[in-house]
Amino acid sequence: MRTVLGIESSCDETAAALVTSERVILAQRIASQDEAHRPYGGVVPEIAARAHAERIAPLIEATLADAGMTLDEVDAIAATAGPGLIGGVMVGLVTAKALAMATGKPLIAVNHLEGHALSPRLADGDLQYPYLLLLVSGGHCQILLVEGVGKFRRLATTIDDALGEAFDKSAKLLGLGYPGGPAMERLALEGDPKAVPLPRPLKGSDEPHFSFAGLKSAVMRAKQSGQYADADIAASFQQAAIDCLIDRARRALDSVGKVNALVVAGGVAANKAIRGALEALAADYELDFVAPPLDLCTDNAAMIAWAGVERFAMGQSDPLDVAARPRWPL
Ligand code: KG4
Ligand code: ZN
């Protein structure tokens, strides 16, 4: 059995976790910066980088203490090396490099998106490659064929906003504050999803991609019209987003060969209405549906440690001069 320390700092969560090759999360800690960014309605990169720098060392110490371990008992150190806000990524990666250098343990530079993409395998030991993955977060909105570690085929991406971004921007228009996704989901429960006519951009289109900018603009017009209750706008927005997602996922399933499961990951996968719709879609195609537990959907370090476990098992590690990458497509 191997144990990997994972470090995540690419956006606004500072996180550390210890995960074993037997899929056990020995300990994990997350320090959220929501409060620091809330007054600005979004993540401020400079504030994020400073907060990561202040928190990361005590957070790692506390995570090791939670598991009753010392760094010497860890087999490898994995950290997000991108994509993300570069100041934050550098804090986590440099910390990992320092720990690797001091202990002589291997360093594994993890792509944050690969962390999300492989997280369902941490949660579900039966999930085999290949699977179709919907990666839906604040920064990304992609459909990927996952064929193995480091083996991804991108079938669709967004031509403008990511789905989480659309949730966040629409929430801001309704005065719901940051982060908007969970607040929109709560408000949508009280509204009528058919009350507000909203567009379904690219639904039925021959091209495979997503588009959400037009939906967000329509939310703005609906709000400005003064004709609709906020809860009805939220419910109608969520329904339009689900219709787009399901339409695009159907297209991808029709275009791809045999897969073992339909899998969803990323922060938006925390949305129960979206999970429900995808579960029904999977049943329609007689596929298993796999979604990680909610705390593994949003940014966390267990998924980074797990990607490290999978890479380490293949004998992979990285040199200490590996670069932090603000952009790093899968
Ligand atoms: O994966 P994540 O934590 O960070 C990124 O890598 O982007 O995803 C955060 C995104 C935010 O846009 C947030 O509003 C959205 O996920 N999100 C949700 C829900 N929970 C988080 N969107 C819709 N419904 C939710 N319940
Ligand atoms: Zn993420």
How much is the ipTM here? 0.98
What's the whole-number mean pLDDT along residues 39-53? 90
The ligand 1 atom nearest the CA atom of 271: 26
- Gap from CA of 105 to ligand 1 centroid (Å): 33
Angle, CA of 82, 212 and 158, to the nearest 5°: 40
**Pairwise CA distance, residues 122 & 108, whole Å:** 17
- Gap from CA of 258 to ligand 1 centroid (Å): 29
pLDDT at 319 > cutoff 90: yes
Cis peptide before 197 (omega within 30 of 0): no
Give the single-character DSSP code of 167: H
Is 276 among the annotated ligand-binding positions?
A: no
Percent with pLDDT over 70 in the chain:
100
pLDDT at 107 > cutoff 80: yes
Give the torsion sign (CA, 41, 42, 45, 47): positive
Predicted model pTM: 0.93
How many Cα atoms within 13 Å fall on the side-chain side of residue 193?
A: 11
Closest CA to 182 of 75, 269, 303, 83: 269
Q: Band of the pLDDT at 205, cuts 50, 70, 90?
A: very high
CATH top-level class of 129-291: alpha beta
The whole-number pLDDT of residue 143 equals 98
Do residues 148 and 119 touch, judged by C-beta distance below 8 A? Answer: no
Do residues 15 and 28 touch, judged by C-beta distance below 8 A? Answer: yes
**Pairwise CA distance, residues 175 & 231, whole Å:** 12
pLDDT at 248 > cutoff 90: yes
3-state secondary structure string, 274-291? HHHHHHHHHHHCCCEEEC
Query: Measured between alpha carbons, how far is residue 179 from residues 109, 166, 238 in Å?
Result: 28, 11, 15
Question: Ligand 1 atom 10: the closest Cα is on which residue?
Answer: 138
**Pairwise CA distance, residues 47 & 37, whole Å:** 8
In the chain, where are the structural domains located? 3-117+297-313, 129-291
**Pairwise CA distance, residues 202 & 185, whole Å:** 23
Q: At how many degrees (to 10) do helices 230-255 and 213-225 cross?
A: 160
The string of pLDDT tens digits covering residues 17-45 is 999 999 999 999 999 888 888 888 788 99
- Gap from CA of 114 to ligand 2 centroid (Å): 10
Do residues 215 and 166 touch, judged by C-beta distance below 8 A? Answer: yes
Q: Band of the pLDDT at 55, cuts 50, 70, 90?
A: very high
Which of 268, 299, 327 best tests ligand 1's pocket when mutated (most atoms within 8 Å of CB)? 268
Which of 43, 167, 237, 264 best tests ligand 1's pocket when mutated (most atoms within 8 Å of CB)? 167
| Torsion angle of C-alpha atoms 143, 124, 13, 42, degrees rounded to 10 | 40
Please name the helix (run of DSSP H) or strand (run of DSSP E) that holds residue 107, with its range, or none: strand 107-111
Question: Is the CATH number of domain 3-117+297-313 3.30.420.40?
Answer: yes
Domains 3-117+297-313 and 129-291 share a fold: yes
Ligand 1-lining residues (CB < 6 angstroms): 11, 137-139, 164, 167-168, 179-182, 185, 266-268, 270-271, 298-299
The whole-number pLDDT of residue 322 equals 98
The whole-number pLDDT of residue 40 equals 84
